[in-house]
Amino acid sequence: MEIITVDENHCVGCNACVRVCPVHANITRLKEDTTDEFITTIDPNACINCGECVKICRHNARNYHDHIDTFAEYFESKKEMILIAAPSIRTSFPDGTWKTLLSLLRMHGNCRIYDVGFGADICSYVYNKYMTEHPSKKIITQPCPAVVNYIQKYKPELLSYLSPVLSPAGCLSVWLKKYQHETAPIFMLSPCIAKTSEAEREGFYDYNVTFRNLAKYMDKHKADLNQLEDFEFDAKEGTIGRMYPMPSGLKQTMLMLNPSLVIRNTEGIQDLYPSLDRYEQTPDAKKPDILDVLNCRHGCNCGTALPEEETSLLEVEQVMNTIMEDSVSETAGGFLGIGKFKQFKEFEKTLRTEDFMTSYKDESIHRPSLTMQEYEEIFTQMHKHDPASHNLTCGACGYSQCRDMAYAIHYHLNVKENCFDYLKKRMKDEYSELQEKYNTLLVETGHEPIELPKKETQSQQTASQNITSAPMPYPNSAHYQNPVQYSSQGSNPLNPNPYPNPNQYPNVMPYPAPAPYPMQTPMVTPVQNPAPMPVQMPMPAPVQAPVQTLNQYAAMNPVQYQYGNSGQAPVQNPNPYAPQPNQYIPDPDKKF
């Protein structure tokens, strides 16, 4: 099944999806019978179903398939089914509304409901057992199906490092089928688009229903989730496994079970996929025991298929803090720690670790690299005739490098008309041709031709390209010119900010930034006999009302002045009127 879908009637070719895709699975082409309108579709074989393009699209052109229709059929006809709810349901439907939701599903359907957090407890137990039995093994966690898809398609060299332990949903499904003898079809309620591909790949649970489509379904049937009701799962609720949907959630649970493990974590497409590249190049002796990975920067709590009314990060953190406190107290074991990890001791007696193992297939996509000659041919078609234009990297096409765009054009994943630099040069050429034709007509009709601007030579083009691609001389100016690449909050992993601190260059003009281009001097008509200028008397300095203390002045001007705890000096503030390093700053307690 093609999971990510495109509505071509809504696509405007803005390249936002191209910009966020970690594997360049998009295909951009010209619309039929047009020369300047684009549409971007997807290569389903190349897509890893991470869902980032669905999140970033502002034109409702990207959507996805899950199994909401099959769920509706079972629910409305009261067919027997099993629902397993991801732990992130507690943050996706906050303030207890998740209990009301599951209670309504149980009341109006024919279903039994289980907590995937309990499956995460089983997953943690099996992980710990596996690492104890294989102390030299280095593994990459696999609860995130987008990461599994990526490694199978683009990093088959890492398949041997991919954890053989099933995901929490897979572990719970095995437990239900083999240990509870459930035979009804299993529907997972999740915040993840890629879980649909996991259901198809593993087959341990049958269907994936995303929170977004489930919320829409409940709204369609006018279900009131604000009438809070009590709810309990049909089996045990998860303990430390409920922390899985937060960043480094698996890492935290594993360190509770085995503090001696060396575990690193990475989340978000900006960090995750470059980290896997570095992981591949790192010797095994320097690899961590476990690399905990998630596609979404804030974990499954901020997945790709949340309800449209998303919970704020602050609320998510509050819920997760409560869960962490409860998990710690539950695993502490009460008086003298007698019951510590009681549930895991039961797992030791009842579970067979081999039941919760899986394997992976090499589904690698072969993308041959281009030769230098092939790159040069594409660059020539794009009117890029010199090395500077090869590295313009304006990003308008969605790719981070011009070479990536050239690669995409070679393999028919994009078109040269989608290159801003190409369009600009083509417009200049067309303008020159029109002017030449116009002058020809003027000469033929006996009029004087218009002097055309001289075309830039090859060296002039190179010089202009070097100027536009050079770093901005002022950190604040660069900040204005490219707010994505320059972050005032610090460095960016994709493009570190060379000017992280505006005050580290004392001789550089602070805010506001200078104009990107020199101001043109206005034309002034000279006066033949200027009249003598009248003598202007100096104006007395304005009398200002006395200010009692510096702290009072700071309170009167909270935007211009910000003071630290000591009140002696302003904190870093790019305010052009802030006190300079050598300027006298009065004592805050002194009256004046």
The domain spans of the chain are 1-65, 67-356, 368-455
Look at residue 357 and give its three-state secondary structure: strand
Q: At what angle do helices 116-133 and 342-350 cross, to 10 degrees?
A: 70
Query: What confidence category does residue 350 fall into, taking pLDDT thresholds of 50, 70 and 90?
Result: very high
CB 128 within 8 A of CB 258: yes
pLDDT class for 155, splitting at 50, 70, 90?
very high
Burial degree of 430 (CB within 10 A; 0-12, 13-18, 19+)? exposed
Task: State the amino acid at position 277 in one-letter form.
Answer: D
Identify the sign of the CA torsion 207, 208, 211, 213: negative
Q: Are the C-beta atoms of 394 and 400 separated by less than 8 Å?
A: no
Residue 560, pLDDT > 50, answer no
State yes or no: pLDDT of 63 exceeds 60: yes
Of 382-396, 439-453, 476-490, the one with minimum mean pLDDT is 476-490
How many Cα atoms sit within 13 Å of 120 on the Cβ side?
28
Q: Do 49 and 63 meet the contact criterion of CB atoms below 8 Å apart?
A: no
The most confident of the ranges 279-293, 473-487, 519-533, 536-550 is 279-293
The answer to whether residue 123 scores a pLDDT higher than 80 is yes
566 pLDDT higher than 60 = no
pLDDT at 473 over 50: no
Within 488-577, where are the H helices?
Answer: 550-556
Structure tokens given for 88: 């992130």
Is the C-alpha dihedral spanning 289, 247, 112, 359 positive or negative?
A: negative
Within a 10 A sphere around the Cβ of 450, how many other Cβ atoms?
9
Q: What is the pLDDT of residue 14?
A: 92
Neighbouring-strand partners of residue 592: none
226 Cβ partners below 8 Å, 6+ apart? 97, 100
Burial of 125 (0-12, 13-18, 19+ CB in 10 A): buried
Under the banding of pLDDT at 50, 70 and 90, the label for residue 124 is very high
Per mean pLDDT, which range of 140-144, 159-163, 179-183, 342-346 is the poorest?
342-346
- 371 is written with which tokens? 């030769």
281-300: average pLDDT: 94
Closest by CA to 418, choosing from 44, 126, 43, 26, is: 26
Instruction: Measure Cα distances from 446 to 76, 434, 449, 590 in Å.
Output: 84, 18, 9, 84
For domain 1-65, give the fold: Alpha-Beta Plaits (3.30.70)
458 pLDDT tier (thresholds 50, 70, 90): low
CB 11 within 8 A of CB 59: yes
User: For position 538, what pLDDT does the model report?
Assistant: 55
Residue-level pLDDT at 592 = 35
Q: Which of 178-182, 251-255, 580-584 has the lowest mean pLDDT?
A: 580-584
Is 377 within 8 Å of 384 (Cβ atoms)?
Answer: no
pLDDT in tens, 370-389: 999 999 999 999 989 888 88
Q: DSSP for 186-240?
A: EEEEES-STHHHHHHHH-SS-EEEEHHHHHHHHHHTT--TTS------SSPPPSG
For residues 304-327, give the mean pLDDT. Answer: 88
Q: Which helix (H) or strand (E) holds 387?
A: helix 387-390
The stretch 8-22 carries a mean pLDDT of 93
Check residue 225 and give its pLDDT.
Answer: 85
Three-class DSSP category at 466: helix
CA distance 379 to 409: 10
Per DSSP, which regions of 13-163 are E strands? 26-30, 38-42, 62-64, 81-85, 111-115, 139-140
pLDDT at 32 over 60: yes
What's the pLDDT score for residue 324? 86
SS3 per residue for 32-62: CCCCCCEEEEECCCCCCCCCHHHHHCCCCCE
Q: What was the pLDDT predicted at 202? A: 87
pLDDT digits (tens, 9 = 90+) for 393-402: 888 999 989 9
Run of H or E residues at 97:
helix 97-108
Using CB atoms within 10 A of its CB, is residue 100 exposed (0-12), middle (13-18) or buried (19+)? buried
- pLDDT tens-digit readout, 355-373: 999 999 999 988 888 999 9
In the DSSP assignment, the letter for residue 399 is -
Quick check: 561 pLDDT over 80?
no
CA distance 334 to 343: 13
User: In the structure encoding, which two tokens stand for residue 292, read together?
Assistant: 């905990």
Contact assessment for residue 18 and residue 399, using Cβ atoms and an 8 Å cutoff: yes
468 contacts: CB under 8 Å, gap ≥ 6: 392
Which tokens belong to 542?
A: 């304005």
Rounded distance between C-alpha atoms, residue 472 and residue 517, angstroms: 12
CA distance 420 to 237: 55
Contact 231, 100 (CB under 8 A): yes
Q: What is the mean pLDDT of the chain?
A: 80
Q: Which residues, including other chains, have CB under 8 Å from residue 440's CB and lie 6 or more apart?
A: none
* Contact present, 53 and 138 (Cβ < 8 Å): no
- Residue with tokens 């039994």, as numbered in its chain: 112
**Long-range contacts of 569-576, Cβ-Cβ distance < 8 Å, separation of 24 or more:** 572/501, 572/502, 572/503, 574/476, 574/502, 574/503, 574/510, 574/511, 575/510, 575/511, 576/510, 576/511, 576/512
Q: What is the pLDDT of residue 333?
A: 59
Cβ(146)–Cβ(64) below 8 Å: no
Question: What residues are paired with 140 via a beta bridge?
Answer: 162, 291
Q: Is the pTM of this model over 0.85?
A: no
Of the chain, the percentage scoring pLDDT greater than 90 comes to: 53
Task: Give the pLDDT of residue 470.
Answer: 42
- Give the model's pLDDT for residue 534: 54
- Pick from 48, 49, 43: nearest CA to 29: 43
**Is 571 in contact with 562 (CB distance < 8 Å)?**
yes
